[in-house]
């Protein structure tokens, strides 16, 4: 396996990178490990200088960071710029708030006094996906570096230029050698680094298959891990929803990033009364999207990240149809160069169809019609995933009741504003465990130490 930067809008190879040798690999681990011994002793203020500087550089150089993303995984340039800005704000958020989040917490035992204190645990190994080439990195770098840990990251093999740009960001921000290390490594080397005693934690964002493999390896080594995995989020539309508002979110929720988002709306569950009207407007809006060069501001539909992602998704759609699903629109690749797929709506996906339980990672929506709110919730919960979900209704109290009954890590009422630096992000069931972002995100890889003072006589 090698790391290849290839433009999915044209099929042209931009650059290839060899995996690092075992000797280099060992050197990098040794450097990171030595860096930890220095970094852990720095004050929050000292750490914040570097992390805030990295945030400022990203903010100053939005285009410089955005362009490689568009070129190597096809994200539309306006979305790419937004991602760079958001990544910068995540770093700035942790530079500002880490000390407060990790401040000692006083406890109240019956005798004496006690507190919990937080301390870093060491070198953390991160494995990250291509769909948000910087945002995913910022979500681990901001909190874990501010907590006093050190990071080594294996990024996805199709976004090496972004991976290298993010490593350079830390050097430019004045970070000590080894604070943030990008690793162009194989899966086998990834297994070995998890086994290495100098590595103290494993953070993965990726597929369920990768989650099973990495969580098992971390478990075997008794290492703490966080798993941000896939999803098949329900988009529930109740009969009292504002249709215009709902359809706009439906299109954005399914099509943002060409549909390649873990918590995208993937299962559209609409109460009977509104189902025909919703479907008519939703399909018309999807039909209006036009594929084109993702570097062009006017393009409304970009390519999928790689040709193999497109081929796999087309196979998945064909498989669903072979088992009884119907294609209401789309279902094919566009007749043009590049890895572009038509926006697709599948209906009649019955429970015995394997697609019912699948994640469609691209512009494919599954549409379900249900009789009422209870049926919508039951269907939403009939999933192996539990990442996020949304509900659309004019009655906010009703929306909150529905949100409480859906079994996921996140629910959104009348919007799908997935992510903010302040809000914890993560799922349950096959969507993984642990949280990133917010106060919770910085607590994942720290030692929570109890310190108690009490003048007690030792029992005899
Ligand atoms: P993937 O194949 O699991 O890849 C993700 C990362 O894991 C890549 O860096 C990949 O490296 C690495 N990887 C995969 N198997 C590995 C193994 N056995 N050992 C070591 N590394 C391994 O995921 P994907 O299909 O590209 O990404 C999309 C998935 O990620 C979707 O399921 C999506 O829902 C999920 N996701 C979840 C979140 C979240 O926060 N919950 C966010 C974004 C995406 P290579 O590229 O070298 O194989």
Per-residue tens of pLDDT for the chain, all 460 residues: 589 999 999 999 999 999 999 999 999 999 999 999 999 999 999 999 999 999 999 999 999 999 999 999 999 999 999 999 999 999 999 999 999 999 999 999 999 999 999 999 999 999 999 999 999 999 999 999 999 999 999 999 999 999 999 999 999 999 999 999 999 999 999 999 999 999 999 999 999 999 999 999 999 999 999 999 999 999 999 999 999 999 999 999 999 999 999 999 999 999 999 999 999 999 999 999 999 999 999 999 999 999 999 999 999 999 999 999 999 999 999 999 999 999 999 999 999 999 999 999 999 999 999 999 999 999 999 999 999 999 999 999 999 999 999 999 999 999 998 899 999 999 999 999 999 999 999 999 999 999 999 999 999 8
Structure tokens at 209: 């298959």
**Closest residue by CA, ligand 1 atom 10:** 156
Q: Which of 210, 214, 430, 432 to mutate to test the pocket of ligand 1 (most atoms within 8 A of CB)?
A: 210
Shortest-distance atom of ligand 1 to CA 139: 40
Which residue, by CA, sits nearest to atom 16 of ligand 1? 210
C-beta of 359 in contact with ligand 1 (< 6 A) = yes
Closest CA to 301 of 285, 309, 290, 313: 290
Say which residue the tokens 């070995």 belong to: 192
Residue 298 token pair? 């006017």
In the set 262, 263, 359, 373, the catalytic residue is: 262
Shortest-distance atom of ligand 1 to CA 155: 9
Please give the order of strands across the beta sheet that includes 113-120.
105-107, 113-120, 446-453
Q: How far apart (Å, rounded) are the C-alpha atoms in residues 317 and 240?
A: 32
CB 330 within 8 A of CB 363: yes
Instruction: Judge residue 203's burial from the number of C-beta atoms within 10 Å of its C-beta, 0-12 exposed, 13-18 middle, 19 or more buried.
Output: buried
Measured CA distances, 185 to 7, 188, 308 (Å): 21, 8, 20
Distance 107 CA to ligand 1 centre (A): 40
| pLDDT computed for residue 86 by the predictor | 98
Q: Is 205 in the pocket of ligand 1 (CB under 6 A)?
A: yes
Closest CA to 203 of 438, 388, 48, 435: 435
Q: How far apart are the first and last CA of the chain?
A: 64
Question: At 379, is the secondary structure helix, strand, or coil?
Answer: helix
Nearest to 64 by CA among 141, 157, 168: 168
Structure tokens at 206: 């990726």
- Please determine, looking at this structure, whether the domain spanning 3-229+431-451 carries the CATH number 3.10.180.10: no
Alpha-helical (H) ranges within 338-460 are 373-381, 396-405, 438-442
Give ∠ CA 239-241-243 in degrees, rounded to 5: 110
pTM for this model (two decimals)? 0.97
pLDDT at residue 2 in the model: 84
Catalytic hit among 83, 228, 342, 444 = 228
Q: Which atom of ligand 1 is nearest to the CA of 210?
A: 15
Question: 210 CB less than 6 Å from ligand 1?
Answer: yes
Contact 366, 266 (CB under 8 A): yes
Q: What is the pLDDT of residue 116?
A: 98
Output 280-284 pairs: Cβ under 8 A, ≥24 positions apart: 281/243, 281/244, 281/247, 282/247, 282/250, 282/251, 282/345, 282/365, 283/328, 283/329, 283/345
CATH 3.40.605.10 positions along the chain are 3-229+431-451
β-strand partners of 422: none
List every span in the chain annotated with CATH 3.40.309.10.
233-413
Q: What is the pLDDT of residue 1?
A: 56
- With a CB cutoff of 8 Å and minimum separation 6, the contacts of 140 are 124, 126, 128, 151, 153, 203, 436
What atom of ligand 1 comes closest to residue 1's alpha carbon? 47
Look at residues 420, 417, 441 and name the one whose alpha carbon lies nearest to residue 142.
441
158 catalytic residue (yes or no): no
Query: Is 228 part of the annotated catalytic residue set?
Result: yes
Which pLDDT does position 418 carry in this prediction?
Answer: 85
Q: Which class does domain 233-413 fall in?
A: alpha beta
Let me know how many helices (H) and strands (E) the chain has, helices first. Answer: 14, 20
Q: How far is CA 263 from CA 67, 409, 418, in A?
A: 24, 10, 7
């Amino acid at each position: 396996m090698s790391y290849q930067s290839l433009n999915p809008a044209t099929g042209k190879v931009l650059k290839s990178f060899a995996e690092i040798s075992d000797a280099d690999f060992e050197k990098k681990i040794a450097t990171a490990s030595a860096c930890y011994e220095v970094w852990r002793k720095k004050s929050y203020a000292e750490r914040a200088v570097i992390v805030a500087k990295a945030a400022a550089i990203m903010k100053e150089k939005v285009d410089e960071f955005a362009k490689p993303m568009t070129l190597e995984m096809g994200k539309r340039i306006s979305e790419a710029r937004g991602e760079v800005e958001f990544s910068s704000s995540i770093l700035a958020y942790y530079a500002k708030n880490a000390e407060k989040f990790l401040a000692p917490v006083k406890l109240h035992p019956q005798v004496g006094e006690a507190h919990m204190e937080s301390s870093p645990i060491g070198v953390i190994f991160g494995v990250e996906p291509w769909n948000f080439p910087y945002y995913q990195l910022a979500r681990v770098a901001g909190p874990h570096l501010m907590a006093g840990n050190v990071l080594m990251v294996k990024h996805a093999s199709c976004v090496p230029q972004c991976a290298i740009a993010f490593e350079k960001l830390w050097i430019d921000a004045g970070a000590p050698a080894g604070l943030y290390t990008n690793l162009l490594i194989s899966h086998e080397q990834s297994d070995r680094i998890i086994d290495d005693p100098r590595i103290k934690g494993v953070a993965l964002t990726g597929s369920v298959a990768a989650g099973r493999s990495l969580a098992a390896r971390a478990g075997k080594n008794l290492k703490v891990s966080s798993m941000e995995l896939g999803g098949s989020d329900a988009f529930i539309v109740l009969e009292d929803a504002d249709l215009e508002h709902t359809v706009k979110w439906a299109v954005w929720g399914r099509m943002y990033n060409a549909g390649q988002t873990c918590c995208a709306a993937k299962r559209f569950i609409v109460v009977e009364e509104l189902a025909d009207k919703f479907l008519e407007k939703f399909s018309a809006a999807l039909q209006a999207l036009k594929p084109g060069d993702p570097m062009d501001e006017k393009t409304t539909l970009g390519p999928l990240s790689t040709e193999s992602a497109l081929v796999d998704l087309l196979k998945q759609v064909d498989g669903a149809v072979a088992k009884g699903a119907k294609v209401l629109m789309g279902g094919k690749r566009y007749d043009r160069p590049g890895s572009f797929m038509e926006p697709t709506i599948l209906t009649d996906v019955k429970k015995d169809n394997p697609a019912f339980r699948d994640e469609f990672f691209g512009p494919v929506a599954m549409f379900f019609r249900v009789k009422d709110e209870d049926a919508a919730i039951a269907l939403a919960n009939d999933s192996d995933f539990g990442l996020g979900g949304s509900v659309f209704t004019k009655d906010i109290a009703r929306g909150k009741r529905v949100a409480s009954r859906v079994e996921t890590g996140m629910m959104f009422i009348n919007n799908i504003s997935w992510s903010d630096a302040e809000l914890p992000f993560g799922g349950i069931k096959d969507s993984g465990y642990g949280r990133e972002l917010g106060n919770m995100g910085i607590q994942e890889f720290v030692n929570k130490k109890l310190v108690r003072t009490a003048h007690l006589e030792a029992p005899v």
